[in-house]
Amino acid sequence: MAGPFSLDGRRALVTGANTGIGQAIAMSLAGQGAEVVCAGRRSCADTVAQIAAADGTASELILDFADPMAAQNTFVDQGFTILVNNAGIIRREDSVDYSEADWDAVMDVNLKALFFTTQAFGKAAMAAKTPASVVNIASLLSFQGGIRVPAYTAAKHGVAGLTKILANEWAPHGITVNAIAPGYIETNNTEALRNDPERSKAILDRIPAARWGKASDIGGTAAFLASPAAEYITGTVLNVDGGWLAR
């Protein structure tokens, strides 16, 4: 008998699945039995190969979310019941010097594409009358301001808000919508921070768990939120940060 965490028979799309957190999420979903389509603007062949090596089922799909409508025709009659919105970019600059081009680029990928991808997924799930799960990747900057990342902060605040409104509207259709706010995770994006002894120490001193998070920490949380075990959880932004925000 399948347990409450099993994803057997489920089909998932994970965006930004070529590396880091997205790759870990794809592998975690596959590890629980889901068929995973790994989407991104670059090839996800490495992720697909790792899933196959672990006897999972996966394929790749090239989608560039610089076009917010890139996924409009992805879900109709394709059997998807899980969507993980992980794709994102960041542009750093003092707010006083931040350009409109950088603002638009970040907003298009991190917020506009997330909404319209989720909208297309939700329409298909409702038409199929199939219970489904959406997991958005938010950020600690869904709660905090940060510095030198105004568009990223605004977009991630927006992700938290969209998670809640879609949860409200779609719960009657059996669709849960949740978000994960990762803390400081060991990925390529944080390599410079981890290699800076003073900055790394300052970060670790604030984390009660006293370690950087692993991408698999986020992967396991996403698999849980997509599973039957979480069917009564919706509209939640779950911090996976080793206690950072509680400090």
pLDDT at 127: 98
- Residues 112 and 68: beta-carbon distance below 8 Å: yes
Spot the catalytic one: 98, 152, 184, 232: 152
The backbone region for 87, taken as left when phi is positive above 0, alpha when psi lies in -120 to 50, beta otherwise, is: beta
pLDDT at 1: 57
**Active site includes 152?**
yes
pLDDT at 193: 83
The Cα–Cα gap between 153 and 168 comes to 23
CB neighbours (10 Å) of residue 42? 12
Distances (CA, A) of 10 to 31, 36, 53, 109: 12, 9, 20, 26
Low-confidence ranges of the chain (pLDDT < 70): 1
Distances (CA, A) of 234 to 10, 137, 172: 19, 14, 11
pTM confidence score: 0.96
> What domains are defined for the chain?
11-188+214-241 (3.40.50.720)
